[in-house]
Structure 1
């Protein structure tokens, strides 16, 4: 099973809610907080592997899971 970690990106968000996501020590994505259009919390996520993916989630945990799903190799059909 892959080892997943995250590290705060310093200086980019005064609340400290900006994270690089690592799989086995390699940076594979980013998750950060942004106030949504309707005022609700909104978490942006992006993967940096091919094919890249991105989206928004309601919680940090959901955003981290989306990065994991985007980065984890799929079994061939």
Structure 2
């Protein structure tokens, strides 16, 4: 574990046994929804700010989650 913590990202990537999906290639929800029409006009300004904040932090990924370049997968 200490060895991995001392490695740079590029050094860690060389250790991977198979292909991976970097998180920076998964667009946030905000980007996904740009092309779709939304009825944000009906929402209050406060609600829209919350939606904007969450939509910048949340991403939707459809695929094998074991290929994501993350440290852990937790099942609630």
Answer whether TM exceeds 0.5 for this pair.
no
Q: Which structure shows the bigger proportion of residues in strand conformation?
A: 1
TM-score (norm 1): 0.27
Which fold has the larger relative contact order, with Cα–Cα distance below 8 Å and residues 6 or more apart in sequence?
A: 2
